[in-house]
Structure 1
Amino acid sequence: MKVRDVMMKGNFTLKENNTFYEASQLFSNDEVEVIPVLDEKEILVGLITKNDIIKNFIKGTSPNIYIKNLSLDKKNIINDDSKIQDYIDAKESYMGVKNAEGKFVGIFSVNNMLKQGFANGSQKINELKKKINCNNECNENNLNCTELDAVIESSFDGIYITDGKANTLKINKSYETITGLQRKSMINRNMYDLEKEGYISKSATLMVLKNRKSNTIEQEFSTGKKVLVSSNPVFDDKGNISMVVTNVRDITELYELQDQLAKNMKLTEKYYSEIEAMRIQYLNLSDMIAQDKSMLDLLDVAKRVANVDTTVLILGETGVGKEEFAKFIYKNSMRKDKNFIKINCGAIPQNLIESELFGYVKGAFTGANKEGKMGLFEVADGGTVFLDEIGELPLDIQVKLLNVLQEGEVERVGAVKPIKINVRVLAATNRDLEGMTKEKLFRADLYYRLNVVPLTVPPLRERRGDIVPLIQYFLSQLNHKYNFEKSFTIEALNTLYNYSWPGNVRELKNIVERVIVMSSSDEIFQSDLPIQNSLTNIDKNGGCEDISNLKDAVGKVEAKLISQAFDNAGNVRDAAKILGIDASTFVRKRKKYSGKDML
């Protein structure tokens, strides 16, 4: 008999590029024990089981990691034309079955075969039937044949034989070992009496004698052992049942494994529930990726301040995700159904910033709208205003912003009467505002009014637990967007993990997109990464050997970097990306240094 004759059809399959989270969802079905993993050509490349899911949950595997990056079972894959007896004694409960082309065709389950007739046990039973019916030396009610005794006694499964009236004729040694019962106390006794006295919970033999057909049941003994028994009738020439041959296999260990699996599943559900609760609680935005403990702790603080209208100052290097934190606070606040207005203080020309933020009345200045204009703070009334790059705000505008924070009112350009508004202000900067107050570049009263609850977002190099999840997230987005199936090699991931990321998440996203678009194969290797060519170093001297003033030295280095970035990129947008700053900031700084010798 071939494997294809008894294999089960698999209801579920996974592709290599399915995520660990998607695989976990499939295993939430209690009937699923193993799922085959296929490549893009439907070739069977491995198996994943419930135990694999449990182990990876406990290990803390990212939900976003691809299945192909897990340790798949590639050993237990067999051919559909293999013989069953080659795998009967295998320790593995499930094996994947492939055809001659390597494609998945089904699941081979030893336990399932046992329930259907114990495979090799059924074969031995059939051999016994033939021997009993054709061997003239064996009396119908007296099994003394040496050859037949040897077959029965050597069987790995327990064998129990009765006559057509349920009297016990033969019990082998394996039956004693499996059940814990002594055959000397059961030989020549009737199954009705043994069942009545509690030796067995119920008798498959009696069911066969009643229904005249094979029967398989679970049986429990007075010793506490649990077994699976399959009883088969042997008919004489007149169609009467002359014997019932029962094959017995111990499933006590199976029950113990099921209990352990149930406990593990409960533990898995607990871990999953905790992770899901944290994701729902902290990560209400699909693009907020955080697994590093420092980020989760910061999100915990952000979640708490989101529920009140306190002003929040978000600090951190450029590209760390300050805007995403602002959105996170907004999404978790009581104002989430109102407007969220982002204002980039560094991108609005200085001659327009007052009218853009606070609006103007009609006739306020030449070229003004005849009807006047509502400012962004008025537009956000009832909602949230996010002031990005707050450190770039001119001093005269800072005065009016302070009035918004303290009095809750704005005054349009040219107006004589203020307008009451109700907004929550979130601000962000990568600059040292406290230091700027000492240099009179930022108003101290505004700084202390903004700095009610400061949140400092750590740079990517200080939260490396987020690097790989962010890579996988950006990779998944881009694969979906461009219909790619690209992936990073382990060496490439290690290189990305160990990089210092001076441009933080913004730089990471740009590099991932660049290599995905530029790589010629579906696999991205270490050599494909442009990190070694990134603009992270400056000349040893930096052109500062003749400068004694720190401010001038910093200005010269900044001018040199701006010039190099523009020469390398050829345009403002890409040059700004290299330096990890906004295009508007790049333009302003380039203009600042364009008339000086240092550029």
Structure 2
Amino acid sequence: MKVKELMTKKVLVLKPNNTFEEAAKLFIENGIDGAPVVDKDGKLISIITKTDLMKAILNKWKMNERIETLGPKKVTTINGEMNLEDVLKYKVSRLPIIDKNNKIIGIITQTDLINNLVEKITKKYRDLKNTKLSLMELDSVIECSYDGIYITDGEGNTIKVNNAYERITGLKKEAVLGRNMRELELEGFISQSATLLVLKNGETTTIQQEFNTGVKVLVSSNPIFDKSGKIIMVVTNVRDVTQLYELKEQLQRNKEITRKYVSEIEEMRTQLLNTSEIVAEDHRTIEIIQLANRIAKVDTTILMLGETGAGKDQIAKHIHKVSKRSKKQFIKVNCGAIPTSLIESEFFGYEKGAFTGANKEGKIGLFELASGGTIFLDEVGELPMDMQVKLLRVLQEMEVVRIGGTKSIKIDVRVLAATNRDLEEMIKKKQFREDLYYRLNVVPLYIPPLRERKQDIFPLINFFLTQLNKKYNFNKVFASDALNCLYEYNWPGNVRELKNIVERVVIMSEDDKIKRLDLPKNIIGSNGMVVTLNTFEEGINLKETLDSIEGKLIKKAYDKYGNVRAAAKSLGIDPSTFVRKRQKYINNIDAQYKT
């Protein structure tokens, strides 16, 4: 049949000089998913396809082989003109490529082989949950998946691989499309095939898979069944777990490092807290001890600042204990507790007969006594101005002169000082010498109040409780409500107040379990008992009431005037009495509990 007759039979004919690409476009526009292209002698010279599925099918065919060896045996050999009856007989769709002389120089052909395969695969897709998506739409959905997707037919032949699979595994589509999973497993492309396990067991299978590219993945293969229960397809989801394994290994390394650091920190804490008088759990307290350990190695003067009862004296003892002077004397001097008339003789001593009432043998001063060791001047802000001048000279010259004596005595002593006063404000008010302040404040060390280092409260309670149980042969514990109340309290008296409260409730509580109601009223939030001359209630204890009033007056006087002498004068008592009473109420425990 001539070309014109082909055209009348609706056989697609190209215009002269059309290229293979234009022919392919026309062919695809007419509903053909893919087809081989042969020359006029019937040899395969190209493949037209727009889908991975057709590419997987047609890529098995070899170039330059005659078309009758590639498709059905009854395909007509191409020799110039086309026999249309044979084309229709064998259901071969062909598109001739004609030159300008109307001679057929090539043919694009699609045989029953391709048609049957396309129909078969298309039917499988249609059977998937009765989806109404077209193949192109379904293909787009698969390609949009972030995880890799690998699809085989019911015999394990690869029919679809998305781009994510290539990205994750490092394998190219061309290397696996159209190939059976048994071949890929045998050739070492994959360590093990989950698809083959599904085909064997008939159920969803998840395994770890490793590729020849070195990538490790987690694959989960799911079977797709037809109406008769036969597996027609296996869909595999692939997720890269290489990073997860790396993160797991890194986490394990971090855990080991953490355990090592925790062990080192605990060892460091044991070394830091080498005195049973210091309990430290809060990070601020530990930092203070670390700093104290560093400055303890040199003989510099240290000025400790902080509220009353915060633990300045304990830090001073710790510094002495870890210093090179630890085997020598540690002398603590409460500067506010010594009467003014006796300060100089207590500090520097006196010669025999120096004044009326003096010891006949004379007396060595505290600075001489501490020579070779450490002297701790607590409440140094209470020193009168004339003693400040004499103390400054001692610190500068490191020598003392006894009262009544003329000879200077060399001393070797380290000076630690502490105060709860604002010395800089006192300097402005001409109550403290500026030169002495700078002499003492070589290394300042601030001790925060207990309310600023809350993590120390429970360990301190346990420490004091253990000591008291051992001392009094008790077996007492704090209930959780009592502990919570103690934790929330503001602790104006700091560690000293905490210690005394613990001792009080341990002694006074009737049961072994100390409950919230066993705590003092000011701790649990009560305003306390108010007594006036116009009221009287049964059960009022006169001694406790008087002690409460006296303690409040002493505290208010000290808060107002800021020093012992002025506060004592305002209450009409001498400084030594004031110091004694103030210490009693700061400790907040009756004398009967100390016996």
TM-score (norm 2): 0.48
Question: Higher Cα Rg: structure 1 or 2?
Answer: 2
TM-score (norm 1): 0.47
